Each structure stands twice: as C-alpha cells, then as structure tokens.
Amino acid sequence: MTASTKDGITIRTMAERDYPIVKSFMQEQFFSGEPLSQSTGEQVHLQNEKESDEYHLSMIREGTCLIAIDENQGGRIVGYVLAGSQYPEDLEKHRRDAEQMEQHAWGRICRLLSKMELEANLFERYGTSKLLYSHMTSVGGSMRGKGLGSRLAATLMEVGRAKGYPLMVAYCTSFYSARQKEALGMQCVHSLCYADYKDDQGRVIFTPAAPHTHARIMVIKL
C-alpha cells in the first residue's frame, strides 16, 4: 500500500525491521491496557513469547500489518495493527494449540478466543475459504481519542479489499474497541459474557473492570 499521512501521522505497511520497536510498544501500550491481560496482573507479554514472535512475523510477511508513526516526533511509533490470513483448518489448529498451552493468562485468553471462533464458525456462516483476521490493534496513550484506531482499522479494510479478502474479522475483548469497530460498519456476530465463562469449579475466569463485560466477534464484508 501507499503510505498515507494526515495531521503528521503516517500509516504504512509494517516491515520485519519494524518489529523490535513494535514489540516494545506492544508491551508498554497494548498489554497494559487490554482488559483481560490487565485484569490478571500477570506479565502476559512474557508468556509464549517465542511462539507469539513467530506468529507476528508471519503476519508481517503477508503485507497485512500496519504501523503508524508521528512525523512531528522523528518517526516515533504511535500505533499499529497486526493482521493476517485465516483459513478453515486454522480453527482446529488454534483449538489444539490453546489446549496445550500452560495455565497462565495468555493460555486462558487463547482458549477463550478458540472457543468463540469455533462457536461462530465464520467460514461456514459466510461460505468463504479465507478471511482477514485483525489480531491486535494498539494506539499510544497520547493519541487515544483522536481517531487513530479507527484510521488504522479503515486502512486495514482497504488493504483487505486490495488483496481480495471477502471478509475482515476482529475479536474485541474491550468495550471500546468493539464500539470503534461498530462505528466503522462492523457487526457483532457472536459474543461471550465474561461473568458466564467459568472453570470446572464454577469460578469466573476473567473479571475485567467495567465496562468490559463481553468479548465480541466483529465482522465486515469487504
């Protein structure tokens, strides 16, 4: 894609060389604010770190990840979105991988997301054999409330259309991210109430602060 600049903020395709700074930004801005990670008090960014790095780099190589930089501050990163292809066979792979993960926060999050994607079964629902999965979006604290998250999501939709994806999906664990996606025309097709998601002993697994009460699967046809 061609880089797009507005109000001094440039959004462009992420390159592998960007990943070290993106990873640092992810630790500082995403995991500290994502409701499920935040509610556990665990250092989620250190859990399954090697596997996560490999997964993120594989998405970057697809040319479907974006980085936002502030031209007025020497090209400092202020946001990003990691996204990549998904196929029907990925559902079973995600289920197996999640089951085998440790009983730490990231493992519990992955099991929740796998449960939701199996229940939603978007490939069957929409009769498609591939979709663009918006995996992780983060905007720096100084830029929140200024429309950058929406701009990143809208730009990703453009990338998806240009690459021939029929569908874009995002799993929103935050009330605010779901509301933002809805404002861009994405529809909630499946949700899970955190208070109803319990372990074998009947204990609620995630207790994020209000207003984060549900995880939602948001979809838009491209």
Q: What is the pTM assigned to this prediction?
A: 0.91
Element (H, E) at 23: helix 19-25
Q: What is the mean pLDDT of the chain?
A: 92
pLDDT in tens, 176-220: 999 999 999 999 999 999 999 999 999 999 999 999 999 999 999
Give the residue extent of every domain in the chain. 4-221
Peptide bond into 211 cis (omega under 30): yes
What is the predicted pLDDT for the residue at 2? 66
pLDDT in tens, 83-101: 999 999 999 999 999 998 8
Question: How is domain 4-221 classified at the architecture level of CATH?
Answer: 3-Layer(aba) Sandwich (3.40)
φ, ψ for residue 220 (rounded to 5)? -140, 135
Tell me which DSSP letter residue 138 carries: E
Res. 160: pLDDT tops 80: yes
State the alpha helices, DSSP H only, in 30-147. 35-40, 49-61, 89-100, 105-120, 122-126
Collapse the DSSP code of 63 into the 3-class scheme (helix H, G, I; strand E, B; otherwise coil) and give the result: coil
Res. 44: pLDDT tops 80: no
